[in-house]
Amino acid sequence: MANVVRAALVQATWTGDTESMVAKHEEHAREAARRGAKIIGFQEVFNAPYFCQVQEPEHYRWAEPVPDGPTVRRMQELARETGMVVVVPVFEVEQSGFYYNTAAVIDADGSFLGKYRKHHIPQVKGFWEKYYFKPGNIGWPVFDTAVGKVGVYICYDRHFPEGWRQLGLNGAQLVYNPSATHRGLSAHLWQLEQPAAAVANEYFVAAINRVGVEEYGDNDFYGTSYFVDPRGKFVGEVASDKDEELVVRDLDFDLVEEVRQQWAFYRDRRPDAYDGLVQP
Ligand SMILES: NC(=O)NCCC(=O)O
């Protein structure tokens, strides 16, 4: 019998405040659960605007501890209520001066499974993230969730094949990639990079981008979120480039094993010949 996981993602416009932003994500999650989804993921720093368009100390106010902050605690309640695994990207403060771009992973019973911290931090025009975030320092966790093995890689991370590979080596069947990226910068890459990563690493990817113009910049986030399978094929339609959208798709996790047996990239890779890759 096929091992099909009904999975969801949300690309959302910024509402102007955290309370209404979180509340509308809760509504999307409830709708996804009604449609039979068993896992859902949200966009990068989903409960805040994309404040990295500017460099201002006032924006440290969006940070909270993970898992003991209000948003992750609330998402644990949501997971319990809906019976879904929830991937929750937030701005994390560990202690004063230690801030990370993080995603918490919560299991379908509401338990906190752990977190991923974005490793590769951009300082590209309009993405002034080095001002806010320390680079991730807790490795490449893959979480054993109620639906299967789930990893997270966050936005600018996606340009670096090494992390995608490490998540595959750690057993990921599905990697959520919460993002915030502008049309002028990356719309072309967006259609290439995650499908290529899904093929090279033989797993599903959920690619989530914010959508709309926000208050801290005049660039538009172009949405076009999607699921892509281990053969690099989009699962259903790509989402709108203008509007908020809940995307729900059936992912046949058996395809991961099928593709791994057919192509066997993990057999054929040559770590013995890659020393140069890990030289500083
Ligand atoms: N959020 C983020 O890392 N954006 C950087 C720009 C990009 O990688 O498309």
Global ipTM? 0.99
71 lines ligand 1 (CB under 6 A): no
161 Cα to the center of ligand 1, angstroms? 15
DSSP 194-209: HHHHHHHHTSEEEEE-
44 included as an active-site residue: yes
- Whole-Å CA distances, 231 to 39, 149, 209, 227: 21, 18, 21, 12
Q: What is the pLDDT of residue 96?
A: 81
Q: Which of 94-98, 100-104, 115-119 has the lowest mean pLDDT?
A: 94-98
Identified catalytic residue from 52, 64, 92, 118? 118
Say if residues 135 and 154 touch (Cβ distance below 8 Å): no
* pLDDT tens per residue across span 51-68: 999 999 999 999 999 999
* CB-neighbour burial class of residue 95 (10 A; exposed 0-12, middle 13-18, buried 19+): exposed
7 Cα to the center of ligand 1, angstroms? 24
User: Which of the 8 DSSP states describes residue 135?
Assistant: P
pTM of the model: 0.98
* pLDDT tens per residue across span 182-213: 999 999 999 999 999 999 999 999 999 999 99
Contacts of 28 by beta carbon, 8 Å cutoff, 6+ apart: 8, 10, 12, 40, 246
229 lines ligand 1 (CB under 6 A): no
219 lines ligand 1 (CB under 6 A): no
* Distance separating alpha carbons of residues 88 and 65, to the nearest angstrom: 13
User: Which of the 8 DSSP states describes residue 218?
Assistant: S
Alpha helices in the chain (DSSP H): 18-34, 70-82, 161-169, 183-190, 193-201, 254-263, 265-268
Say if residues 241 and 233 touch (Cβ distance below 8 Å): no
Query: What is the number of other CB atoms lying within 10 angstroms of the CB of residue 154?
Result: 27
Identified catalytic residue from 38, 115, 155, 202? 155
155 included as an active-site residue: yes
